[in-house]
Amino acid sequence: MGRLTGLVALVTGAGGGELGGGGAGIARALAQEGAVVAVNDLAEEYAQATVEQITGQGGTAFVLAGDVSDPRRAQEMIETVVERYGRLDILVNNAARLGRSPAVERMSDEEWHSYIAVNLSGPFFMSRAALPHMMRQQYGRIVNIGSLAALRASLNGGAGYTASKRGLLGLTRQLAAEFYAYNITVNAVLPAGILSGRMRAEMGERAEALVAARRWALPDDIGKICAYLASPEAHLISAAVIVVPGANATGLGDFAQYRAMARQIGKDIGE
């Protein structure tokens, strides 16, 4: 019996199985804690890879393909889960547009709008569709997967990525304020970097060094944090912004590195 036994979850952008990223890790972690998990991704076969991994480990999951940036499809996906299981308790908004983009002066209108559509409008559409069901049952957990770029800037994704992830923090806090009275919590998890299974296989020893130094997280690390936030035990935590790994949020690295740098410039920071 896991802490999520009897609960029903939907995780967006959760395909890929063993080679997947944070979404796959979140889906696995929720299933391991006993939740029934609807695994969403754009491509049905990509979502199926995670479903097969979960069911192969004794969990319960099913494919729910669809584009979260389409408000009609977002509503249909939520209704599908509720019709199938009678409830929806947990929504993890993980789907995102990633990848390199040009600098602002070369960014097209279409590219800008695509980041906002997937990374910000998608979580809004999915949450809007889920909230009436959560309100009715007086229980809900929404976890929005953001990025450290929301607090700093993106070295990879550009203005559209950074702005959309910053907007997701505002959405998180607004939803948390509006729905806490219904026993619905809304929190944001901001990975500084996630080593997907595919990246880990391609990078080899470099990937292992990042993990060992606790600079990047593995997909299941993110999953375990989300599983706790999705549980009844976390009922007092809402509007929280959790950076993983946390040391990267300072922009300085961990304190040992900061102390060494400070000593080089003659700053007295104590022991």
Is 161 annotated in the active site? yes
Task: Indicate whether 133 belongs to any domain.
Answer: yes
Task: Indicate whether 139 belongs to any domain.
Answer: yes
Task: Indicate whether 44 belongs to any domain.
Answer: yes
Task: Say which of 46, 115, 161, 180 is annotated catalytic.
Answer: 161
Two tokens, residue 196:
């997907």
> Phi first, then psi: what are they for 39, rounded to 5°?
-100, 110
Task: Indicate whether 271 belongs to any domain.
Answer: no
**What is the chain's pLDDT, residue by residue, as a tens digit (271 residues)?**
799 999 999 999 999 988 888 999 999 999 999 999 999 999 999 999 999 999 999 999 999 999 999 999 999 999 999 999 999 999 999 999 987 788 889 999 999 999 999 999 999 999 999 999 999 999 999 999 999 889 988 877 789 999 999 999 999 999 999 999 999 999 999 998 777 778 777 777 877 777 777 767 888 999 999 999 999 999 999 999 999 986 666 654 555 555 565 566 555 554 4
Can you give the CATH number for the domain in which 202 is found? 3.40.50.720
Task: Locate the DSSP E strands across the chain.
Answer: 8-11, 36-41, 60-65, 90-93, 140-145, 184-191, 241-244
Task: Indicate whether 55 belongs to any domain.
Answer: yes
Name the CA dihedral angle for 46, 51, 56, 57, rounded to a multiple of 10 degrees: 120
Q: How many domains does the chain have?
A: 1
Task: Indicate whether 3 belongs to any domain.
Answer: no
Task: Indicate whether 150 belongs to any domain.
Answer: yes
Q: What angle (nearest 5°) sits at the alpha carbon of residue 191, between those of residues 146 and 4?
A: 80
Task: Indicate whether 143 belongs to any domain.
Answer: yes
Dist CA 253 CA 264 (whole Å):
16
Of 5, 37, 57, the closest CA to residue 223 belongs to 37
Instruction: Calculate the alpha carbon distances from 181 to 177, 185, 241 in Å.
Output: 8, 9, 20
Dist CA 230 CA 17 (whole Å):
21
* Domain span at 188: 8-264
